[in-house]
Amino acid sequence: MSHIDCSGADVVVLKYMKTGISIVLATLLHLQTARSQSATFDITYAGFTPEAEAAFEYAADIWSTYLISDVPIKVNAKMVFLLPGQLGITFPNGEKNFSGAPYADVWYASCLANAITGVELNPGEADIDVFLNTSANWYFGTDGNPGPTQYDFVSTVLHELCHGLGFLSLGNVEDTTGSFGLIFAESFAPLVTSFTWPDLDTLPGAFDMWLLNNADVLLTTLDNPSAGLKTAFTSNAIYLESPMVLATNGESGRIYAPSTFTLGSSLSHWNEGTYPVGDPNEFMTPFAADGHANHIPGPLTLAVLDEIGWEITDGLPITNITAPAAPLMVFPNPATTGISLSGDAMQDAESIQIFSATGNRILISDATTTLSISQLPAGWYTVYVQTATAMYTCRFTILEH
Ligand SMILES: [Zn+2]
Protein backbone atom coordinates (compact mmCIF):
# COMPACT_ATOMS: atom_id res chain seq x y z
CA MET A 1 0.00 0.00 0.00
CA SER A 2 2.76 2.41 0.81
CA HIS A 3 4.11 1.97 -2.69
CA ILE A 4 0.78 3.12 -4.13
CA ASP A 5 0.79 6.14 -1.85
CA CYS A 6 4.26 7.06 -3.04
CA SER A 7 3.37 6.96 -6.70
CA GLY A 8 0.23 8.97 -5.96
CA ALA A 9 2.37 11.65 -4.39
CA ASP A 10 4.60 11.74 -7.45
CA VAL A 11 1.64 12.37 -9.66
CA VAL A 12 0.48 15.24 -7.49
CA VAL A 13 3.91 16.86 -7.63
CA LEU A 14 3.97 16.48 -11.37
CA LYS A 15 0.56 18.11 -11.73
CA TYR A 16 1.61 21.11 -9.69
CA MET A 17 4.74 21.49 -11.78
CA LYS A 18 2.58 21.65 -14.85
CA THR A 19 0.27 24.16 -13.26
CA GLY A 20 3.27 26.36 -12.63
CA ILE A 21 4.39 26.12 -16.20
CA SER A 22 1.02 27.08 -17.59
CA ILE A 23 0.76 30.09 -15.33
CA VAL A 24 4.13 31.30 -16.61
CA LEU A 25 3.01 30.69 -20.16
CA ALA A 26 -0.27 32.53 -19.65
CA THR A 27 1.62 35.49 -18.24
CA LEU A 28 4.00 35.61 -21.17
CA LEU A 29 1.13 35.43 -23.63
CA HIS A 30 -0.68 38.16 -21.78
CA LEU A 31 2.34 40.43 -22.18
CA GLN A 32 2.26 39.78 -25.91
CA THR A 33 -1.37 40.70 -26.47
CA ALA A 34 -0.59 44.28 -27.37
CA ARG A 35 0.97 43.23 -30.66
CA SER A 36 -1.23 40.20 -31.36
CA GLN A 37 -4.33 40.07 -33.51
CA SER A 38 -7.14 37.69 -34.32
CA ALA A 39 -5.97 34.69 -36.33
CA THR A 40 -6.33 34.61 -40.10
CA PHE A 41 -6.75 31.53 -42.29
CA ASP A 42 -5.11 30.96 -45.66
CA ILE A 43 -7.16 28.18 -47.29
CA THR A 44 -6.50 26.18 -50.46
CA TYR A 45 -9.58 24.34 -51.78
CA ALA A 46 -9.81 21.20 -53.93
CA GLY A 47 -13.08 19.71 -55.14
CA PHE A 48 -15.27 22.38 -53.54
CA THR A 49 -18.39 23.92 -55.02
CA PRO A 50 -18.76 27.67 -54.46
CA GLU A 51 -21.37 27.10 -51.72
CA ALA A 52 -19.15 24.52 -49.94
CA GLU A 53 -16.26 26.97 -50.13
CA ALA A 54 -18.38 29.78 -48.69
CA ALA A 55 -19.48 27.53 -45.81
CA PHE A 56 -15.88 26.49 -45.09
CA GLU A 57 -14.84 30.14 -45.13
CA TYR A 58 -17.66 30.94 -42.71
CA ALA A 59 -16.41 28.26 -40.28
CA ALA A 60 -12.81 29.47 -40.52
CA ASP A 61 -14.03 33.01 -39.80
CA ILE A 62 -15.63 31.77 -36.58
CA TRP A 63 -12.31 30.30 -35.41
CA SER A 64 -10.62 33.54 -36.44
CA THR A 65 -12.67 35.42 -33.90
CA TYR A 66 -11.77 33.01 -31.07
CA LEU A 67 -8.03 32.61 -31.71
CA ILE A 68 -5.20 35.09 -31.56
CA SER A 69 -2.13 34.58 -33.74
CA ASP A 70 0.17 36.77 -35.81
CA VAL A 71 0.90 33.93 -38.23
CA PRO A 72 -1.75 32.93 -40.81
CA ILE A 73 -3.07 29.37 -40.39
CA LYS A 74 -2.57 27.52 -43.68
CA VAL A 75 -5.26 24.96 -44.50
CA ASN A 76 -5.60 22.48 -47.39
CA ALA A 77 -9.28 21.60 -47.71
CA LYS A 78 -10.30 18.70 -49.95
CA MET A 79 -13.66 17.12 -50.77
CA VAL A 80 -13.01 13.39 -51.28
CA PHE A 81 -14.87 10.08 -51.01
CA LEU A 82 -14.54 8.79 -47.45
CA LEU A 83 -16.15 5.70 -45.95
CA PRO A 84 -19.92 5.90 -45.39
CA GLY A 85 -20.52 7.33 -41.95
CA GLN A 86 -17.33 9.41 -41.96
CA LEU A 87 -17.91 13.13 -42.31
CA GLY A 88 -14.33 14.39 -42.18
CA ILE A 89 -10.73 13.58 -41.28
CA THR A 90 -8.12 16.14 -40.29
CA PHE A 91 -4.34 15.98 -40.04
CA PRO A 92 -2.44 18.75 -38.28
CA ASN A 93 1.19 19.33 -39.17
CA GLY A 94 3.46 19.23 -36.11
CA GLU A 95 6.37 21.04 -34.45
CA LYS A 96 8.32 20.23 -31.30
CA ASN A 97 11.15 21.78 -29.29
CA PHE A 98 10.66 25.21 -30.88
CA SER A 99 11.64 28.38 -29.05
CA GLY A 100 9.01 29.03 -26.37
CA ALA A 101 7.52 25.51 -26.48
CA PRO A 102 5.66 24.98 -23.19
CA TYR A 103 7.03 21.41 -22.89
CA ALA A 104 10.16 19.85 -24.40
CA ASP A 105 9.75 16.70 -26.48
CA VAL A 106 6.03 17.22 -26.96
CA TRP A 107 4.29 17.71 -30.33
CA TYR A 108 2.29 20.87 -31.00
CA ALA A 109 0.02 21.52 -33.95
CA SER A 110 2.19 23.66 -36.22
CA CYS A 111 -0.33 26.53 -36.28
CA LEU A 112 -0.19 26.59 -32.48
CA ALA A 113 3.61 26.50 -32.48
CA ASN A 114 3.55 29.39 -34.96
CA ALA A 115 1.12 31.31 -32.74
CA ILE A 116 3.31 30.77 -29.67
CA THR A 117 6.57 31.82 -31.35
CA GLY A 118 5.06 34.49 -33.59
CA VAL A 119 7.15 33.04 -36.43
CA GLU A 120 6.15 30.77 -39.33
CA LEU A 121 8.13 27.64 -38.47
CA ASN A 122 6.94 25.65 -41.50
CA PRO A 123 7.18 27.91 -44.59
CA GLY A 124 5.83 26.23 -47.72
CA GLU A 125 3.90 23.59 -45.77
CA ALA A 126 0.23 23.49 -44.75
CA ASP A 127 -0.64 23.52 -41.05
CA ILE A 128 -3.84 21.53 -41.44
CA ASP A 129 -5.14 19.09 -44.07
CA VAL A 130 -8.92 18.65 -43.88
CA PHE A 131 -10.66 15.94 -45.91
CA LEU A 132 -14.46 16.10 -46.07
CA ASN A 133 -16.73 13.37 -47.39
CA THR A 134 -18.14 14.44 -50.73
CA SER A 135 -20.89 11.78 -50.48
CA ALA A 136 -22.36 12.92 -47.14
CA ASN A 137 -25.79 14.59 -47.18
CA TRP A 138 -24.51 18.09 -46.41
CA TYR A 139 -26.31 21.28 -45.56
CA PHE A 140 -24.14 24.10 -46.88
CA GLY A 141 -26.16 26.98 -45.46
CA THR A 142 -24.48 29.04 -42.76
CA ASP A 143 -27.61 29.70 -40.67
CA GLY A 144 -27.34 26.50 -38.60
CA ASN A 145 -30.64 25.19 -39.91
CA PRO A 146 -30.04 21.84 -41.67
CA GLY A 147 -32.93 19.63 -42.78
CA PRO A 148 -33.71 16.61 -40.61
CA THR A 149 -31.45 14.24 -42.58
CA GLN A 150 -28.73 16.75 -43.47
CA TYR A 151 -25.36 17.21 -41.76
CA ASP A 152 -24.42 20.80 -41.06
CA PHE A 153 -21.24 21.47 -43.04
CA VAL A 154 -20.23 24.52 -40.99
CA SER A 155 -20.48 22.53 -37.73
CA THR A 156 -18.37 19.74 -39.22
CA VAL A 157 -15.69 22.10 -40.53
CA LEU A 158 -15.50 23.86 -37.16
CA HIS A 159 -15.05 20.47 -35.47
CA GLU A 160 -12.39 19.31 -37.96
CA LEU A 161 -10.45 22.58 -37.73
CA CYS A 162 -10.45 22.16 -33.94
CA HIS A 163 -8.52 18.90 -34.36
CA GLY A 164 -6.15 20.83 -36.61
CA LEU A 165 -5.61 23.39 -33.84
CA GLY A 166 -4.27 20.61 -31.62
CA PHE A 167 -7.37 19.05 -30.07
CA LEU A 168 -6.25 15.48 -30.70
CA SER A 169 -4.28 12.64 -29.18
CA LEU A 170 -1.20 10.93 -30.58
CA GLY A 171 -2.27 7.72 -28.83
CA ASN A 172 -2.55 4.55 -30.91
CA VAL A 173 -3.11 0.82 -30.44
CA GLU A 174 -1.45 -1.95 -32.43
CA ASP A 175 -2.45 -5.51 -31.45
CA THR A 176 -1.83 -5.75 -27.69
CA THR A 177 0.19 -2.55 -27.33
CA GLY A 178 -0.80 1.05 -26.72
CA SER A 179 1.54 3.92 -27.55
CA PHE A 180 2.04 7.63 -27.90
CA GLY A 181 3.80 8.92 -31.00
CA LEU A 182 3.68 5.74 -33.06
CA ILE A 183 1.31 6.85 -35.80
CA PHE A 184 2.59 6.51 -39.34
CA ALA A 185 1.53 7.99 -42.67
CA GLU A 186 0.54 4.48 -43.89
CA SER A 187 -2.11 4.31 -41.16
CA PHE A 188 -4.28 6.72 -43.15
CA ALA A 189 -3.93 5.24 -46.66
CA PRO A 190 -5.31 5.95 -49.17
CA LEU A 191 -5.33 9.50 -47.75
CA VAL A 192 -1.98 11.27 -48.08
CA THR A 193 -1.03 14.46 -46.26
CA SER A 194 0.22 17.45 -48.27
CA PHE A 195 3.17 17.77 -45.87
CA THR A 196 5.71 15.10 -44.97
CA TRP A 197 4.26 13.18 -42.02
CA PRO A 198 6.74 13.71 -39.20
CA ASP A 199 8.52 10.88 -37.39
CA LEU A 200 6.57 11.20 -34.13
CA ASP A 201 9.38 9.40 -32.33
CA THR A 202 7.20 7.93 -29.52
CA LEU A 203 6.48 11.43 -28.21
CA PRO A 204 3.03 12.56 -27.00
CA GLY A 205 1.11 15.60 -28.19
CA ALA A 206 0.29 18.65 -26.04
CA PHE A 207 -3.29 17.34 -25.61
CA ASP A 208 -1.97 14.00 -24.27
CA MET A 209 -0.13 15.73 -21.42
CA TRP A 210 -3.39 16.14 -19.50
CA LEU A 211 -4.96 12.70 -19.88
CA LEU A 212 -5.54 10.64 -16.73
CA ASN A 213 -6.69 7.08 -16.16
CA ASN A 214 -9.36 6.40 -13.54
CA ALA A 215 -6.65 6.04 -10.85
CA ASP A 216 -5.68 9.68 -11.57
CA VAL A 217 -2.36 8.63 -13.14
CA LEU A 218 -1.14 10.71 -16.07
CA LEU A 219 -1.05 8.48 -19.14
CA THR A 220 2.23 10.06 -20.26
CA THR A 221 3.89 8.66 -17.12
CA LEU A 222 3.05 5.05 -18.12
CA ASP A 223 5.55 2.94 -20.07
CA ASN A 224 5.40 3.81 -23.77
CA PRO A 225 4.71 1.66 -25.71
CA SER A 226 3.10 -0.87 -23.39
CA ALA A 227 0.18 -3.21 -22.83
CA GLY A 228 -0.75 -0.95 -19.92
CA LEU A 229 -1.35 1.97 -22.30
CA LYS A 230 -3.66 -0.18 -24.42
CA THR A 231 -5.57 -1.16 -21.27
CA ALA A 232 -5.95 2.53 -20.38
CA PHE A 233 -6.85 3.66 -23.92
CA THR A 234 -9.67 1.09 -24.09
CA SER A 235 -10.85 1.41 -20.47
CA ASN A 236 -13.81 3.74 -21.14
CA ALA A 237 -12.42 5.72 -18.19
CA ILE A 238 -10.02 8.39 -19.47
CA TYR A 239 -10.30 11.95 -18.22
CA LEU A 240 -8.73 15.24 -19.23
CA GLU A 241 -7.84 17.27 -16.18
CA SER A 242 -5.96 20.54 -16.33
CA PRO A 243 -6.09 23.78 -14.36
CA MET A 244 -8.15 25.54 -17.02
CA VAL A 245 -10.55 22.63 -17.45
CA LEU A 246 -11.07 22.51 -13.67
CA ALA A 247 -11.56 26.27 -13.53
CA THR A 248 -14.16 26.10 -16.32
CA ASN A 249 -15.93 22.86 -15.52
CA GLY A 250 -15.31 22.21 -11.83
CA GLU A 251 -14.23 18.66 -12.68
CA SER A 252 -12.25 16.84 -15.32
CA GLY A 253 -13.69 16.28 -18.79
CA ARG A 254 -14.44 12.71 -19.82
CA ILE A 255 -12.65 11.47 -22.93
CA TYR A 256 -14.05 9.02 -25.50
CA ALA A 257 -12.17 5.76 -24.86
CA PRO A 258 -14.35 2.82 -25.93
CA SER A 259 -13.31 -0.81 -25.50
CA THR A 260 -12.44 -1.07 -29.20
CA PHE A 261 -9.77 1.47 -30.13
CA THR A 262 -10.35 3.46 -33.33
CA LEU A 263 -7.48 5.66 -34.48
CA GLY A 264 -8.69 9.24 -34.94
CA SER A 265 -11.84 8.72 -32.89
CA SER A 266 -10.72 7.20 -29.57
CA LEU A 267 -8.94 9.63 -27.20
CA SER A 268 -9.33 12.64 -29.52
CA HIS A 269 -12.90 13.54 -28.48
CA TRP A 270 -15.09 14.12 -25.47
CA ASN A 271 -17.17 11.10 -24.50
CA GLU A 272 -20.37 10.95 -26.57
CA GLY A 273 -22.56 9.61 -23.76
CA THR A 274 -21.36 12.25 -21.26
CA TYR A 275 -21.94 15.18 -23.62
CA PRO A 276 -24.92 14.20 -25.81
CA VAL A 277 -26.52 16.37 -28.49
CA GLY A 278 -27.72 19.55 -26.83
CA ASP A 279 -24.99 19.55 -24.17
CA PRO A 280 -22.82 22.71 -24.24
CA ASN A 281 -19.78 20.45 -24.79
CA GLU A 282 -21.23 18.31 -27.59
CA PHE A 283 -19.01 20.08 -30.14
CA MET A 284 -15.96 17.79 -29.87
CA THR A 285 -17.72 14.45 -29.35
CA PRO A 286 -16.99 11.80 -32.02
CA PHE A 287 -20.47 11.56 -33.55
CA ALA A 288 -22.48 14.25 -35.31
CA ALA A 289 -26.26 14.26 -35.37
CA ASP A 290 -28.06 15.05 -38.59
CA GLY A 291 -30.58 17.84 -38.47
CA HIS A 292 -28.50 19.60 -35.83
CA ALA A 293 -26.00 22.46 -35.90
CA ASN A 294 -23.58 23.88 -33.37
CA HIS A 295 -21.33 26.79 -34.31
CA ILE A 296 -19.93 27.44 -30.83
CA PRO A 297 -17.01 25.39 -29.47
CA GLY A 298 -18.18 25.06 -25.85
CA PRO A 299 -16.42 25.74 -22.56
CA LEU A 300 -14.50 22.47 -22.13
CA THR A 301 -13.03 22.55 -25.62
CA LEU A 302 -12.00 26.19 -25.37
CA ALA A 303 -10.39 25.46 -21.98
CA VAL A 304 -8.29 22.72 -23.56
CA LEU A 305 -7.18 24.95 -26.45
CA ASP A 306 -6.26 27.60 -23.89
CA GLU A 307 -4.37 25.01 -21.81
CA ILE A 308 -2.27 23.67 -24.69
CA GLY A 309 -1.11 27.19 -25.51
CA TRP A 310 -3.69 29.06 -27.59
CA GLU A 311 -4.49 32.60 -26.64
CA ILE A 312 -8.28 32.89 -26.79
CA THR A 313 -10.17 36.14 -27.34
CA ASP A 314 -12.08 37.25 -24.26
CA GLY A 315 -15.76 37.97 -24.23
CA LEU A 316 -17.04 35.66 -26.97
CA PRO A 317 -19.89 33.19 -26.50
CA ILE A 318 -18.69 29.80 -25.35
CA THR A 319 -21.90 27.79 -25.37
CA ASN A 320 -24.52 27.15 -27.97
CA ILE A 321 -27.36 27.87 -25.59
CA THR A 322 -29.91 28.54 -28.30
CA ALA A 323 -29.39 25.30 -30.24
CA PRO A 324 -32.37 23.01 -29.70
CA ALA A 325 -31.70 19.30 -29.34
CA ALA A 326 -33.00 17.31 -32.27
CA PRO A 327 -36.41 15.71 -31.50
CA LEU A 328 -35.07 12.28 -32.51
CA MET A 329 -31.49 11.09 -32.12
CA VAL A 330 -29.76 7.78 -32.75
CA PHE A 331 -26.75 6.75 -30.67
CA PRO A 332 -24.19 5.51 -31.47
CA ASN A 333 -24.06 6.62 -35.07
CA PRO A 334 -22.42 4.88 -36.88
CA ALA A 335 -23.56 1.74 -35.07
CA THR A 336 -22.57 -1.92 -35.20
CA THR A 337 -24.80 -4.08 -33.01
CA GLY A 338 -27.47 -1.91 -31.42
CA ILE A 339 -28.87 1.62 -31.32
CA SER A 340 -30.52 3.78 -28.69
CA LEU A 341 -33.20 6.31 -29.59
CA SER A 342 -33.63 9.53 -27.64
CA GLY A 343 -35.15 12.99 -27.93
CA ASP A 344 -38.61 14.44 -27.36
CA ALA A 345 -40.11 12.21 -30.05
CA MET A 346 -39.51 9.17 -27.84
CA GLN A 347 -41.68 10.51 -25.03
CA ASP A 348 -44.90 9.67 -26.81
CA ALA A 349 -43.63 7.29 -29.48
CA GLU A 350 -46.17 4.69 -30.65
CA SER A 351 -44.24 2.69 -33.23
CA ILE A 352 -40.82 2.49 -34.82
CA GLN A 353 -39.81 1.49 -38.32
CA ILE A 354 -36.44 1.22 -40.02
CA PHE A 355 -36.07 1.64 -43.76
CA SER A 356 -33.01 0.81 -45.88
CA ALA A 357 -31.35 3.38 -48.15
CA THR A 358 -33.32 1.89 -51.07
CA GLY A 359 -36.65 2.41 -49.31
CA ASN A 360 -37.41 -1.13 -48.10
CA ARG A 361 -38.94 -1.47 -44.68
CA ILE A 362 -36.54 -3.65 -42.70
CA LEU A 363 -38.07 -3.57 -39.24
CA ILE A 364 -41.27 -2.56 -37.49
CA SER A 365 -41.58 -2.47 -33.73
CA ASP A 366 -43.64 -1.14 -30.85
CA ALA A 367 -42.12 1.91 -29.15
CA THR A 368 -38.75 1.08 -27.61
CA THR A 369 -35.60 3.07 -26.97
CA THR A 370 -33.15 0.28 -27.81
CA LEU A 371 -33.02 -1.85 -30.94
CA SER A 372 -30.67 -4.63 -31.99
CA ILE A 373 -29.39 -4.07 -35.51
CA SER A 374 -26.80 -6.85 -35.56
CA GLN A 375 -28.78 -8.74 -38.21
CA LEU A 376 -28.73 -5.81 -40.66
CA PRO A 377 -26.02 -5.39 -43.31
CA ALA A 378 -23.74 -2.32 -43.37
CA GLY A 379 -25.18 0.79 -45.00
CA TRP A 380 -27.36 3.86 -44.54
CA TYR A 381 -30.74 3.50 -42.82
CA THR A 382 -33.54 5.79 -41.70
CA VAL A 383 -35.49 5.26 -38.51
CA TYR A 384 -39.10 6.56 -38.41
CA VAL A 385 -40.78 7.20 -35.07
CA GLN A 386 -44.56 7.62 -35.14
CA THR A 387 -46.26 9.55 -32.34
CA ALA A 388 -49.97 10.39 -32.04
CA THR A 389 -49.40 13.69 -33.81
CA ALA A 390 -46.27 13.45 -35.96
CA MET A 391 -43.66 11.29 -37.67
CA TYR A 392 -39.98 11.88 -36.87
CA THR A 393 -37.03 10.57 -38.85
CA CYS A 394 -33.32 10.21 -38.26
CA ARG A 395 -30.71 8.74 -40.55
CA PHE A 396 -27.95 6.47 -39.26
CA THR A 397 -25.20 4.21 -40.53
CA ILE A 398 -24.44 0.58 -39.74
CA LEU A 399 -20.80 -0.38 -40.08
CA GLU A 400 -19.47 -3.82 -41.10
CA HIS A 401 -20.01 -6.18 -38.18
ZN1 LIG B 1 -13.47 14.65 -34.51
- The whole-number pLDDT of residue 355 equals 83
pLDDT at 340: 85
Give yes or no for a contact between 83 and 188, defined as CB atoms under 8 angstroms apart. Answer: no
Question: Which residues pair with residue 354 across a beta bridge?
Answer: 363, 383
Rounded to the nearest whole angstrom, what is the distance from the C-alpha of residue 98 to the centroid of ligand 1?
27
Smallest Cα–Cα separation from 209: which of 163, 170, 161?
A: 170
Distance 154 CA to ligand 1 centre (A): 14
- d(CA 223, CA 212) in angstroms, rounded, equals 14
What percent of the chain shows pLDDT beyond 70?
88
Q: Rounded to whole angstroms, how far apart are CA atoms 239 and 257?
A: 9
Work out the average pLDDT over 230-247: 96
Q: Which of 311, 264, 315, 313 is nearest to 114 (CA)?
A: 311
Nearest of 114, 151, 146 to residue 133 by alpha carbon: 151
**Cα-to-centroid distance, 162 and ligand 1 (Å):** 8
Residue pLDDT, tens place only, 97-127: 999 999 999 999 999 999 999 999 999 999 9
pLDDT of residue 360: 80
The pLDDT value recorded for residue 5 is 27
- Could you tell me which of 116, 72, 79, 70 has the C-alpha nearest to residue 95? 116
Q: What is the pLDDT of residues 171-186, one digit of tens each?
A: 999 999 999 999 999 9
- d(CA 318, ligand 1 centre) in Å: 18
Mean pLDDT of the chain: 86
Q: What is the pTM of this model?
A: 0.73
What does the pLDDT look like over 267-295, one tens digit per residue?
999 999 999 988 889 999 999 989 999 99
| Residue range 360-380: mean pLDDT, rounded | 86
Based on the number of CB atoms within 10 Å of its own CB, is 94 exposed (0-12), middle (13-18) or buried (19 or more)?
buried
Q: Tell me the pLDDT band of 325, cut-offs 50, 70 and 90.
A: low
> At 308, is the secondary structure helix, strand, or coil?
helix
The CATH number of the structural domain formed by 329-398 is 2.60.40.1930
User: How many CB atoms are located within 10 Å of the residue 99 CB?
Assistant: 10
Q: 333-348 pLDDT, tens per residue?
A: 667 888 888 887 888 8
pLDDT at 321: 40
Q: Given pLDDT bands bounded at 50, 70 and 90, which one contains residue 316? A: confident
Q: Is 85 helix (H, G, I), strand (E, B) or coil?
A: coil
- Asked if residues 128 and 40 have their Cβ atoms less than 8 Å apart, the reply is no
**How much distance in Å is there from the Cα of 124 to the middle of ligand 1?**
26
Which of 130-144, 152-166, 285-299 is the least confident region?
Answer: 285-299
- Residue 9's pLDDT band, with cuts at 50, 70 and 90, is very low
Answer whether residue 24 shows pLDDT above 80.
no
Listed by start position, the domains of the chain span: 2-312, 329-398
> What spacing in Å lies between the alpha carbon of 288 and ligand 1's midpoint?
9
